[in-house]
Amino acid sequence: MRAIAIARASGRRVLRDHVALFFLIVLPIVVIVIVGAVAQGFNTFRVGVIDLDGTQASRQLVAELSHASGLAVSDYPNLTSLEKAVGRSEISAGVVIPRGLSSDERRGRAVTVAVMAEQANSTQQAAATQVTSVVDDFGGKVQAAQFATRYGGSFTQDLSRAAFLESSTPRVKLTSRVVQTSQGSLPPGYEYSAPTELVLFVFLMAIASGATIVETRRLGMFERMSAAPVRPRTIIAGESVTYILIAAGQSLVIVAIGALVFGVSWGNPLAAGALLILWCLVGAGAGMVAGTFFRTPEQASAMGPVIGIVFAMLGGCMWPLSIVSRTMREIGHATPQAWAVDAWTSLLSNHGDIVTISRDLGVLALFALGFFALATFRLKAMLAARGA
């Protein structure tokens, strides 16, 4: 009963704080939207095109580039903007279709299409390879049309003929086969941003909430409670209930908005529920630890976000751990975030269930227990030191 009374008092204090509500709900949603829009996966190269010829032939080449798998093509108004876009890495390559392409093709002349890419930049080299392949393919039809005009028809007629015959002419084909592998990262888009930002913000908010506990401590409320007498364990339990409920509320809002607005499938419901509960416990435990370690509320407000962001980076909330070195991956697993993201990856990318993620859940349970034990120990020590 005493724990519930403490929880009610703490909860009222947090819910009165409108700024805290902004960080609890609004900020995570904004981040999910932005990160979801940016993290679209690395399955296309962005290529900029400037068509200086503006003829049907050049437009056809632009269309072939646009339809090529692995290329996302956008038009640029002039050479300067195209060069700047390549320089800033906004695009992986710039394609300049020269003036006179169409007339040179008709006259049987060779045409050079410039592909802007740096020799030393391997991403740009890979994009240039994709563009070269499309240009070669298009050039094959031009070669056929130029050659066929020796025997009849105009260049335009023979180009249409070549385009028509392309599919029926026996050619060396390239067959793509997919090897099914277990996914090491979350799917791109909102299915990436929603679970990772949930993990990030529940923890970050819990740590930052440590400021409120520090304030409570500074006001001598814990000593007064101890004099009531209330045991440190009860005080920790009471404060924890508040933060567990806040974390649960925040998680549920993110889950609901993720599912309803962004169409995120949160995987197996039982496993996802267990994971959410444990993550709320981990967050609340970490918040309690922060509340007993920081000396001033200012320190908690300043350091909370830093710790939260660093843990999120190490734990794979800012980028998938599958792309970093093995050492960084191992270091990352010293944080609870890595285990939570692993579990979400299993649920969302590999159709995992509660059995598949049982190890991750076990580790998270240990983290939660460890945090609460540490917080209780610290609070006991503090009260003992003040003779409470």
Partner 1 sequence: MRTALAIARKDLRQRIRDRSAIVVGVIAPVAIAGLMSLAFNGMNSFHFTLGLVELDHGPVAVELAKALDAPQLRQVITVSEVSSTALARAEIKSGYLGAALVIPAGFSAAVTGEHPESLTTLSSNDGSIVGSVTTSIASSFVAQVNADRLAFATALAAGAPRGDAAQLIGVVSKLHIPLQAVQQAVGAHELKVISYYSPGMGVFFLLFTINYASRSFFVDRSQGMIERMRAAPVSPVEILLGKALSVFVYGVVSLATIGVVTTAAFGADWGAPLPAALVGLALVFSVICLTALVIGVARTQRQAEGISSILVFGLALLGGDFFFISSAPSTIKHLALLTPNGWAIRGFTDLATIGGGLGTIVEPVVAILVISAVIGAIALSLARRAVTA
Candidates 169, 229, 385, 387: give the one binding partner 1 (CB under 8 A): 169
Candidates 29, 47, 142, 241: give the one binding partner 1 (CB under 8 A): 142
Q: Is 370 in the site for partner 1 (CB under 8 A)?
A: no
Residue nearer to partner 1 on the CB measure, 37 or 63: 37
Inter-axis angle of helices 232-260 and 27-38, nearest 10: 50
What single-letter DSSP state applies at residue 388?
A: -
Report how far residue 319's alpha carbon sits from residue 146's, in angstroms, rounded to the nearest whole number: 50
Q: Is the dihedral of CA 153, 159, 160, 161 positive or negative?
A: positive
287 contacts 243 by C-beta, under 8 angstroms: yes
Candidates 224, 298, 362, 366: give the one binding partner 1 (CB under 8 A): 298
Residues 183-202 that bind partner 1 (CB under 8 A): 183-185, 187-188
Residues making up the chain, counted from first to last = 388
Candidates 132, 156, 356, 358: give the one binding partner 1 (CB under 8 A): 132
Q: Is 122 in the site for partner 1 (CB under 8 A)?
A: yes
Q: Is 63 in the site for partner 1 (CB under 8 A)?
A: no
How many residues of this chain interact with partner 1, rule: CB under 8 A? 114
Binding string, 144-163, against partner 1, x = CB under 8 A?
Answer: xxxxxxxxxx---xx--xx-
Residue nearer to partner 1 on the CB measure, 147 or 270: 147
Q: Is 1 in the site for partner 1 (CB under 8 A)?
A: no
Q: Is 73 in the site for partner 1 (CB under 8 A)?
A: no
Residue nearer to partner 1 on the CB measure, 95 or 368: 95
Candidates 25, 44, 59, 81: give the one binding partner 1 (CB under 8 A): 44
Candidates 6, 115, 236, 290: give the one binding partner 1 (CB under 8 A): 115
Q: How far is the CB of 259 from partner 1 (least distance, A)?
A: 22
Q: Is 31 in the site for partner 1 (CB under 8 A)?
A: yes
Q: Is 105 in the site for partner 1 (CB under 8 A)?
A: yes
Tokens of 376: 């209780």
Residue 61's contacts (CB-CB under 8 Å, 6 or more residues apart) are: 97, 101, 113, 134, 135, 138
Residues 208-227 that bind partner 1 (CB under 8 A): none
Q: How far is the CB of 88 from partner 1 (least distance, A)?
A: 6
Report how far residue 261's alpha carbon sits from residue 194's, in angstroms, rounded to the nearest whole number: 11
Which strands, in side-by-side order, build the sheet including 93-97? 71-75, 45-51, 93-97
Report how far residue 128's alpha carbon sits from residue 318's, in angstroms, rounded to the nearest whole number: 29
Q: How far is the CB of 171 from partner 1 (least distance, A)?
A: 4
Computed on alpha carbons and rounded to an integer, the radius of gyration of the chain in Å comes to: 30
- Vertex 324: Cα angle to 319 and 326 (nearest 5): 140
> Which residues sit opposite 49 in a β-bridge?
75, 95
Pairing between strand 93-97 and 71-75? unpaired
Piece of 220-228, 258-266, 320-328, 366-374 that binds partner 1 (CB under 8 A): 320-328
